[in-house]
A and B are shown apart, each in its own frame.
Chain A
Amino acid sequence: MQQQQQPQAQPSPKPKKKIRVPKVVNGVEQMVEIEVDADAGPGWGPNDKHTLLNHRVTRVDGPLKVTGTARYTYDQRLPGMLYARILRCPHAHARVTNLDTDAASKIPGVKAIIQAPLTELRFAGAPVAAVAATTPEIAGDALRAIKVNYEVLPHVVHAPAAIRPDAPKVVAEENNLQEKGKNGDPQKAEAAFATADAIVEGEYISQRVHHACLETHGMVVDYRGGDTATIYASTQGTFTIAADAAKELGLTESAVTVSVEHMGGGFGSKFGLGLEGLLACRLSKQTSSPVKLMFTRYDEFVMAGNRSGSWQKLKAGVKKDGTIVALNARQYRLGGLGPGSQAGQPYIYRMGDTYREVYALHTNEDSSIAMRAPGHPQASFAVESLMDELAYKIKMDPVEFRKKNLRDEVYHRQLERGAQEIGWSKRNPIAGGNAGPLKRGMGCAVGTWGGGGNNQCKVAVTISRDGSVGVAVGTQDLGTGTRTYTRLIVAEELGLTIRDVKERIGNSKLGAANPSGGSTTAASLSPSVKDGAIKARMMMAERVAPLLGNPKPEEIVFAGGNVSANGKSLSWKQATASLPAAGITSHGEWRADLQSRGIHGVCFAEVEVDVETGHVKPIKMVHVQDGGLPLNRLTMESQINGGMIQSLGMALWEGRVMDAHLGMMLNPGFGDYKLPGSLEMPEMVPIIDDGDKREAVIGIAEGCIIPAVGALVNAVFNACGVRVRELPVTPDKILMGLSKGTQITQI
């Protein structure tokens, strides 16, 4: 049929406004300016007037997950599927001089062995080769049978060694120390220190922490020749894989379908095809078979990324009234081969005349990558420790001291709420001042995050003649509750229950969606879902208006499973029976006015320190968090708990241990890398700050991991009088502090 150009009436141009929104590329958030409609339609309405949103709703995939029915990438098993494993370099810096795969390829069941595309291996654990075999065990046999000769090169894995001028170079001809920026006037800062009543100077060090996703990285590449391929991936970005995979497979991007039905944790580490995906594609192409390449737990520790370490030299001056007059900061980002990440000091505080220098300091370790609030817990830990030290120096209450140096009233409100909940008034202001060997103490800290969305989600809402309602978009649910709030938004708009709506997500053949990084998913997706639901409601209203005495479509009320106007009411099924055979489908677009950015959170912690053993027992944690319109209070609280618990690990137990001589990680397993466990859990109080009246969706996942580390180390100081400036706060550091009476920085 020929399309004819129809002359169209020009719609009057809608008023526009320019806004800045975050866009996430490979887990890294960038800000871009876009133009949006100033007013694009009905809003969410007041936060306390919703029927489903801002309530406590159990997650829709819960029944599948608790019964083992949910199918994860790791659970995929296809006919004729091969199992792939990666051979890894045992040296921190080496070149492969010979790779002998003869014996390995003769093992029955071994189908392919390929060399990894790296010429120089710059960390222990770098991939050397990959094999595909008929069982995981045979793939392991093949790895052991491959003979590799290496030319071993000098390496350096510890920051204090890497910074020396004579240190082995991580990358030939390049300095290990790379300047990343200078801000402020050093002379002005120096002059301001002269006006201070007290000065604190310290070095703060945070360790490399691992994401430790329980489902390891990996994918199943199903390419058996032909024109199309399907990839089942454990990913935070359904749409971040096809393009690179297509290049490897020799297909067009649209010929590759990516599926992520359920995924077992990402925390910032799962974007893109990755080297493992590239190897899986090549193995699948070579064997014309589906290939499953999931990292082992060892693989996950040595090559799946980690939170950038930090080394921060801070000096601050304060007046007796609590005014901070100057800060001098020298910040090293410890990202291994990568640039690392670390928010600039003085982070969220005002500190008068500030000067900072930021460097990346490279070592022979795998690159750090984005991890839940990249760079922020590190900066927060250091500045919150510094704030505490300043407060004690001038004998000011740490809560009052923070209020004095924070302009935003929201923090004041939240600090008061948190203090009340933890029982701050019972805190002994003298550090270590409580009697007995088991000493309790309290600490607090403050955090912020963006959490805004961007224009990437295309949502289809379908209402069928039989009454069923579907919402489809290619987004992914990392365990955050995306599936659930997607349903909730549509159900509320159409006056239905959550059971009446079915969502389809996690497939690149569905409408576009943004990768889940930077807490941008909720604020990117929900406006598009809401827009799609409003449009579907209006389309249906026009259809049923004749049955209700021809009211204006916007006067028709959708509530309680009924569609009503003019005193007439239709049940949902009666109403949808008037739809055409194909039903109706609306297309939801992102609306800037339905989301916002900028969130606030405070954390309070109480701990008990055994001054005879140095053991720290967390007693209670409180986190107060705002976030505009809470889509689902139940899952939001779970996320706040998760932020506190992951912070507990960073503060007290977790950390990669590298051997200087061997250049390898000494604790690449849960037996030696201490995750938070059930026995260590304190009482946890997640509080949603309903003082936030913004009628807009904002992502909160990252905001609620930022302040807790600072709160915990400050609580340890208040309990026992030892200021541990190097994470994690382990018993040896506390005992050393108790015996020497000094601040502890071991580096």
Chain B
Amino acid sequence: MTKSREDHNPGRRKFLKGVGIAGAGAAIADHLWTEAEAQEKQPTTLSGNVKITLDVNGSPRDVQVEPRTTLLNALRNHLEPAVTGPKLVCDVGTCGACTVLLDGKPAYSCLVLAVDAVNRKITTVEGFGSPESPNAVQAAFVEHDALMCGFCTPGFVTTISAYLKKNPNPSLDEVREACKGNFCRCGTYPRVFEAALAAAKATAG
């Protein structure tokens, strides 16, 4: 299947090979240009795979993606085995459920192209702990029932875990401010705040 796509657009494939990863920006510009052209002429595929290596939770992960593939999509739908902790909820950077850390800083992985995440340390919620050995934030979320359906939870855990590194002793208002980019629908906010403050205390103690 991959082969047929490459066959379909050899020029583009060669172009990507030529510029390599450093040319990711150019690849995006090329993508825009191709789309405009596609609208003028007849619809054609915009595909063309590029082989990249992502550093996910400390492991190098080889994957073939199109330049337009988001990091979120690469993690969930292209890596084998998949990394599904980050959730696809809005896909346009409004809800925070797909939050990952890039070199320690929170980012919406639906707004980052996979090719732009090369050479950066990607940490997902799976990278903080396991059910048997959770980090302080994860343990506090369970203890304080800071989750219901749990679909927003990986995003909150990631955001707060990163924030507590930056500010180990936050106030309630600082916690609210830190997770203003994450939405929950079940209504767990009060207990998310409790959990974040408890995790800070546990880490300090």
CB proximity to A under 8 Å, residues B170-195: 175-177, 179-180, 182-193
Min CB distance B176 to A, Å, is: 5
- Whether A213 and B185, one on each chain, are in contact in the complex, defined by CB atoms closer than 8 angstroms, is yes
Which chain A residue has the least Cβ–Cβ distance from B141?
A66
Q: A480-B148, A681-B176 known; A74 and B88 CB under 8 Å?
A: yes
Tell me if A644 and B187 are in contact (CB < 8 A).
yes
The 8 A CB mask of A74-87 against B (1 = contact, 0 = none) is: 11010000010000
The answer to whether A135 and B186 touch across the interface, beta carbons within 8 angstroms, is no
Across the two chains, which residue of chain A brings its CB closest to B83?
A: A68
Q: Is the CB of A62 within 8 A of B130?
A: no
Report whether B69 and A144 are in contact in the complex, using a CB–CB cutoff of 8 Å. Answer: no
Contact of B42 among A58, A74, A75, A103 (CB under 8 A): A103
Asked, given contacts A62-B141, A141-B43, A213-B185, whether A641 binds B190 with beta carbons under 8 Å apart, the answer is yes
Are A144 and B145 interface neighbours, CB within 8 A?
A: no
On whether the beta carbons of A64 and B131 are closer than 8 Å, the reply is yes
A670 touches B94 (CB 8 A): yes
Q: Is the CB of A67 within 8 A of B128?
A: yes
Q: A67-B134, A68-B125, A265-B185 are in contact. Are A137 and B150 (CB under 8 A)?
A: no
Instruction: Please report which residues of chain B, range 153-205, place their CB below 8 angstroms from some CB of chain A when the two chains form the complex.
Output: 153-154, 157, 175-177, 179-180, 182-193
- Per-position 1/0 for A281-295, Cβ under 8 A of B: 000000000000010
Given contacts A59-B145, A137-B66, A215-B149, contact A641 B188 (CB under 8 A): yes
- Extra 6 A-B pairs, beta carbons < 8 Å, given A74-B84, A681-B176, A681-B190: A59-B147, A62-B142, A214-B97, A214-B185, A638-B145, A679-B176
Which residues of A from 19 to 77 have beta carbons under 8 Å from B? 58-59, 61-72, 74-75, 77
Contact A263 B126 (CB under 8 A): no
Query: In chain B, what residue has the closest Cβ to A671?
Result: B94
Proximity string of chain A (629-672) to chain B, C-beta cutoff 8 Å, 1 when within and 0 when not: 00000110111011111100000000000000000000001110
When C-beta atoms are compared, the residue in chain B nearest to A70 turns out to be B150
CB distance from A673 to the nearest CB of B (A): 9
Please tell me if the beta carbons of B42 and A68 are within 8 angstroms of each other in the complex: no
Q: Chain B 83-125 against A: per-residue CB contact (8 Å), 1 yes, 0 no?
A: 1111111111011010000000000000000000000000011
Q: Render A250-276 as a binary contact track against B, CB cut-off 8 A, 1 for contact.
A: 000000000000111101000000000
Q: Which range contains the number of A residues in contact with the other chain?
A: 35 or more
Structural contact, A646 and B187, CB atoms closer than 8 A: yes
Assess whether B151 is in contact with A297, with CB atoms less than 8 Å apart. Answer: no
Tell me the minimal C-beta distance from B79 to chain A in angstroms. 10
Which among B44, B125, B184, B191 is the interface contact of A67 at CB below 8 angstroms?
B125
Which residues from A are CB-within-8-Å of B8?
108
Q: Assuming A68-B86, A214-B185, is B190 touching A684 (CB within 8 A)?
A: yes
Q: Are the CB atoms of B90 and A108 closer together than 8 Å?
A: no
Contact A59 B142 (CB under 8 A): yes
Question: Complex: how many Å from CA A108 to CA B132?
Answer: 44
Q: Are A135 and B77 in contact (CB under 8 A)?
A: yes
- For A478, what are the chain B residues with a Cβ–Cβ distance below 8 Å? 149
Asked if residues B191 and A638 are in contact (CB atoms below 8 Å), the reply is yes
Asked whether B84 lies within 8 Å of A634 as measured between CB atoms, the reply is no
A501 within 8 A of B: no
Would you call A691 an interface residue if the criterion is a C-beta within 8 Å of the partner chain's C-beta atoms? no
Closest B residue to A670 by beta carbon equals: B94
Does A569 make an interface contact (CB < 8 A)? no
For A214, give its contact among B42, B44, B183, B190 (CB under 8 Å). B183
Q: Would you call B188 and A642 a contact (CB within 8 A)? A: yes
Closest B residue, CB atoms, query A684: B190
B157 with A641: CB separation less than 8 A: no
CB of A700, distance to nearest CB on chain B (Å):
14
CA distance A678 to B112 in the complex (A): 24
Interface flag for B29 (CB, 8 Å)? no
**A639–B147 alpha-carbon span in the complex (Å):** 10
Interface residues of A in 607-643 (CB under 8 A from B): 634-635, 637-639, 641-643
Residues in A with CB closer than 8 Å to B188 are: 638, 641-642
* Interface residue total, chain B, C-beta cutoff 8 A: 71
Chain B contacts for A637, CB-based, 8 A: 145
Q: Indicate whether A670 sits within 8 Å of B153 (C-beta atoms), given known contacts A68-B126, A137-B69, A645-B187.
A: no
The interface of chain A, by Cβ under 8 A from chain B, is: 58-59, 61-72, 74-75, 77, 83, 103-104, 107-109, 134-138, 141, 144-145, 211-216, 262-265, 267, 294, 296-297, 478-481, 634-635, 637-639, 641-646, 669-671, 675-679, 681, 684
Complex contact B192–A479 (CB within 8 A): no
B90 touching A670 by the CB < 8 A rule? yes
Is residue B46 contacting chain A, with contact meaning CB distance below 8 A? yes
Identify 7 residue pairs between A and B in the complex whose beta-carbon atoms are under 8 Å apart, listed by A's number.
A59-B147, A66-B154, A77-B84, A136-B77, A214-B149, A264-B149, A479-B147
Shortest distance from the beta carbon of A99 to any chain B beta carbon, whole Å:
15
**A297-B125 contact in complex given A479-B149, A642-B187, C-beta closer than 8 Å:** no
Taken together as a complex, chains A and B put the C-alpha atoms of A141 and B130 apart, in Å, by 38
Complex formed: what's the CA distance from A681 to B175 in Å?
Answer: 12
- Residue pair A65, B150 in contact (C-beta under 8 Å): yes
CA A74 to CA B149, docked complex, whole Å: 13
Contact yes or no, B150 A264, CB < 8 A: yes
Given contacts A66-B153, A681-B193, contact A297 B89 (CB under 8 A): yes
Pairwise interchain contact A65-B147, C-beta atoms closer than 8 A: yes
Q: Give CA–CA (A372, B44) in the complex, Å.
A: 45
* A62 CA / B34 CA spacing, docked (Å): 46
Bound form: Cα–Cα A70–B13 in Å: 37
Q: Is the beta-carbon distance between A677 and B180 smaller than 8 angstroms?
A: yes
Contact with A77, one of B82, B125, B190 (Cβ below 8 angstroms): B82
Given the complex, which residues of A lie within 8 Å of B45, measured CB to CB?
107-109, 138, 141
Complex Cα distance, B134 from A276, in Å, reads 37
Is B1 on the interface with A (CB-CB < 8 A)?
A: yes
| CB-nearest residue of chain A to B84 | A75
- Please indicate the chain B residues that have their CB under 8 angstroms from the CB of A213 in the complex: 149, 151, 185
Query: Could you tell me if B91 and A65 are in contact, using CB atoms closer than 8 angstroms?
Result: no
**In the complex, A69 Cα to B132 Cα: how many Å?**
11
Q: Which of B88, B149, B180 contacts A263 (CB 8 A)?
A: B149
Which A residue's beta carbon lies closest to that of B127?
Answer: A68
B76 contacts partner chain A, Cβ-Cβ < 8 Å = yes
Chain B residue nearest to A134 (CB atoms) is: B1
Q: Is A296 in contact with B148, judged by CB distance below 8 angstroms?
A: no
Instruction: Indicate if the CB atoms of A215 and B87 lie closer than 8 Å.
Output: yes
A145/B43 in contact, CB under 8 A: yes
Q: Give the distance in Å from the alpha carbon of A294 to the alpha carbon of B143 in the complex.
A: 32
With A108-B4, A681-B190 as contacts: A479 and B43 at CB distance below 8 Å = no
